[in-house]
Chain A
Amino acid sequence: KAGVTQTPRYLIKTRGQQVTLSCSPISGHRSVSWYQQTPGQGLQFLFEYFSETQRNKGNFPGRFSGRQFSNSRSEMNVSTLELGDSALYLCASSLVTGSGVNEQFFGPGTRLTVL
């Protein structure tokens, strides 16, 4: 099975611009989550989509939004970029195992740099 793929891998933008990141989950996985990783902060949860609906949301401003398509692919959009948005953005698709563990499979991430 192919893993989680994210495009693009690297992106450079300037303040005030907007950006769209894409994520293709593992085939059969219906849940897609997005995380922001910055040095010293670990992975901060942005939101989760399931069956084209945002199911859960983290504590990020409204400039961060997302959507999920019928084939489970997901996009994340950040508008009016700020310098502090520079980070690694990770997408994960998940599968609940027979024992009830929500195991997440991560893509390689998109490294966003805001100048």
Chain B
Amino acid sequence: DQQVKQNSPSLSVQEGRISILNCDYTNSMFDYFLWYKKYPAEGPTFLISISSIKDKNEDGRFTVFLNKSAKHLSLHIVPSQPGDSAVYFCAASLKYRGTGGFKTIFGAGTRLFVKA
């Protein structure tokens, strides 16, 4: 049961243009959504997050949009740079009310290629 889906395994974009990475989820109980970036031979690094009560969060070149009715979020990178070439993971986080802690579910990732 894949609760978080990234349907595009890869995306290729020209330097300076916009990159749009998409993510769909099925559980409306998620509290937060996060994006992580992963370079080869490194662990994922946190990029940006958005609360389930918001519809937009912006941090420099990165903006995440959340459409709760469609259970869809997207990450926009503007302008795209060659250094942005990496695998991007969408993740959804749910706080456990009983045991405490958080459950974070990751999508399969989208590999972004930014061409110079």
Contact = CB atoms under 8 A, between A and B. Distances in A.
Contacts of B103: 45, 56
Interface string A1-43: 0001000000000000000000000000001010100001111
Kindly state the interface size class of chain B when it binds its partner. Answer: 20 to 34
B25 to A, nearest CB: 13
A106 B101 contact: no
A108 B41 contact: yes
B58 interface: no
B89 A43 contact: yes
Interface stretch (B11-19, B60-68, B69-77, B104-112): B104-112
Contacts of A33: 104
Interface of B: 4, 6, 9, 31-32, 34, 36, 41-46, 49, 51, 89, 91, 93, 95-96, 99-109
Interface of A: 4, 31, 33, 35, 40-45, 48, 50, 55-56, 90, 92, 94, 96, 99-109
